[in-house]
Chains A and B, each alone.
Chain A
Amino acid sequence: MNISKLTAPIIETGLGKPLDKLSQTRLLEGISKKYRENDLKFIGGLGIASIILKDGLGGYLYVKQSLNNKKIPSDKRKFVAALDMTNCGLMIAMQILMFKTVSNKKVQEKVFNKLFSKVFDRSARKGYQAIIKQQDKFKKVTGKTFNLSFEAFNKTCAGTFGTLLSLIAATIIAKRVIVPFIATPLADYAKNYLSKNDKDAGFSKEAKNTYDQQGEKLDIKENDTNLLKAAKK
């Protein structure tokens, strides 16, 4: 029995049709229009909003669950939750910063053009054109066609470079090195904040009070640690 044939109509009804209906809603048609127009401000804003929602909700859930997770030892629970909290906050801030800098397409293009200017500048382009035109199939290619193709090729290279830059700088260095490095000491302060309303455990009423707070002061001489002896006196 082919399982995929059985599950296909279920997936289509449970997932496919809702996706189809969602794509026809006003909200998604509006968003699609902005993407077609390449409205970078809107696309950037949507990206940032997604980061804040995902990481914000994730941070809230992780912190809440860590604080209430009795299976984590009590002496470590607050620190675990505190690190989740600082990690979440810093991750959101770092991703927004990366979004506007290293992961920003315009910034990536600028960095790419600076690093590879000699490979894609006018003189290099003229050189490539001269070499390529020597091939039979490209003899009739006009300067305009070549330039348009070269600009598109330049953009593709810049895009690939941008993806790699984002991966190394943003994903690895920023999010996995800088964020945990700063989040860990900040977690100490966050832990104190989470512990600020902690009350003392207190004592059972049946426990003997060997430290008299209000009554007679016990005659305890220095280095005399036998309290029973002192109490009997």
Chain B
Amino acid sequence: MTIKTFKLPLGIKIILGTSILVSLFGIITLFLVTSLVRNSLSDSKRETITSALLEQVQETSHLLDTASISAKLLSESGEVITYMDHRSPIIQDKKILDLLNSFGIGRGLSAVYLLDSKGLCIVSTDSTFLNNNYSFRSYFKNSISGRQYEEMAIGVTSKKAGFYFSSPIFGQNNSIVGVVVTKLEPETIYENLASSSVNQYGNFMLADSDGVVIYSNNKDYVYRSLSRLSDKQVQEITQEKKFLDKKIAVLDFADLEKFVIQGKTNVNITEVYNQNLPNQKFLLAQKVSRHPFYLISEVETGNVGVTAGRIATVVGGMIGTAVIATALLQILFLRFMFAPLTKLREYAQKLATGRLEERISISSGDELESLAENLNLMAENIKSKYGGLEERVVEDARELHSTLKTVETKNNDLEKASKAMLNVMSDLSAEKDRVETILTSIGDGVFVTDTEGKITMINRLAQEMSGYREDEALGKRYTEIFNFRQEKSPDEPYPDFVNEVIKTGQIGAFEKKTVIVRKDSTIVSVLDSVAPLIDHDGKVFGTVTVFRDSTRERELERGKDEFLSVASHQLRTPLGGMRWGIESLLEESLPKETKETIDQLYGNCLRMIHLVNDLLNISRIDQGRITDVPVKTNLKNIINEVVNDLLPTIEQMKLKIRFDIRKPVWLKIDPHRFQEMFENIASNAVNYNVPGGKVVISLKQDAEKVVITVRDTGVGIPKKDIRNIGTKFFRSQNALQVKADGTGLGMYLVKKYVSAWGGNIKIESQEKKGSTVTISLPLAVKPLKIYE
């Protein structure tokens, strides 16, 4: 972009604007000037004319004054009054005549005369008037009525125009006795008028009160009327003024009636424009003061117009020149003005493109200079503050870009993860629904607690069995909802098994014969277990308890219980009877064969009893009806007792028993059950031994467990049978041979007990060499809750 392109539009605007303004102004001025000029010209002309007219008026008035004053004076003269009062008829008093003459001669009066009350001229300086009757004259008519009067009239005798001035003479008794009249030859007036400067302006007239032109520098105007007169008026005037052969024609002036009327009321100047004439005319009229005559100047304005036009042309020319000059000056000025602006613009461009080092200098001594300085300062500031900003920004942008890329990638990953999450969640949700359905349909009551034992989940059955609804149960401690009690001792508080499970992290089971006392106080027997909920880190975060209405089972068990009791009793009774019966028989002296038979009978009987006992025991074990009252038990004592009970067989077989027991071992365990278990092991060691054999019993305890070992030198167990030892009713072949009446239930019981206690059993054996049974029990023996 060049400078020109920038500069001219703005410049042109300015120039055009100014030019238009100036032109407008000029044109307005022109018109104003023109009209002003015209007006002033008119005015000045008017003024000039007016003043000339006024001057003339004075002169004319003055001239006329003489005559009128003379008349008045004379009328008031005593002599005249006396004369008129007492005169003798037709005698012309010389004295009076002299008096009249004295007035007349000095003053240019062509005649001074007296009229009597009838209008007869009785004294006159002009003898031709004597004895004429002038009662027809207006001046007589007016004066005899008491008024002073002036008029122009045509003389009867002279037949020439003349000015007549009359004044009434008042007699002694105030009646009018006569009239004094003075006559002025009009030449005086006319000459005076002819010499007036008013003549130069145009037609100049003297008119009377009727509007008839008496004198004019334009002969055509004489005896013309300045107003539109009616015929009657014309007739009168003609008669009065005796313009005998002169016709009175109206002058072609518009609205002069107004003038005439106004003239009579003493308005000084009237302007009349005759619009019909090409050159505008105007009239200036002035009443001759104190006299009923009017001086009128008719002026043509043509000159004025021409002059005005000339002036306008000149002025117009001047204005035009001014406009052009202004425009040219402006162009120059603007060029000068715009230079710094251009500089500024260029500078701003540089700054905008980041060239902050540039500076500008303008020395125009005005706002532009200060602007330039400020721009420089600004550039300086920006440079110091933001220099190098661009590089930093670019760097930042790069970093940002790479960050954005990373974010994008992460975002994508996130999206994928989120999608995966959603899938998982929907799966979870489906799973959750499944679980819920399962839990709802499950035949057991289930409730889940947190680590404080507060219920976080409770299924439908649990709600029914507790008697509380889900909304009542959630969030409450389980003990508030499930009123567990021991059936046998309902007043005792039930142990906090949830808490126990949370602490130990071990699965637990209900006490036997647990019941729930429902909300409505009905009782339901329940049976079941609590398990800890363990998270990935092995931390317990809650528990789940499953239980069911065991009323039927309880009944069944009660039935079984009863059965057992009854069965045991019913079976044992005849057996017991048989035993004692046979024993009694054996005390008799019997023949040898009889005794042998009865011995065998006795043996069978004992076997039967043994079997029944075992069966009943096993039944009890199978049903978990074993009572288990763990107490701190001295195992050594029990072992000793068991061995004692086996002494008969031991002595019979001449077995050697060795104890490897260093110190007493105490274990919290039910002594009866431990005895039962050990009995079985020990009796096997004894019964399946060889005569003169050995049994070694050892009892050891370390930090974690107790180990009981029974080693025998018996017949051993064939390798293939070792794993079957402990199976219900199993007896290996070689054992059968040794002791036909074994039940095969002993080891079953041992295994059941040991595993229930949380221990383990190891059986090592070699056929014909012997067997070793090793039982290890944890120090914290688990309660015996055995289920098949």
Q: Do A and B bind each other?
A: no
- Identify the A interface with B (CB < 8 A): none
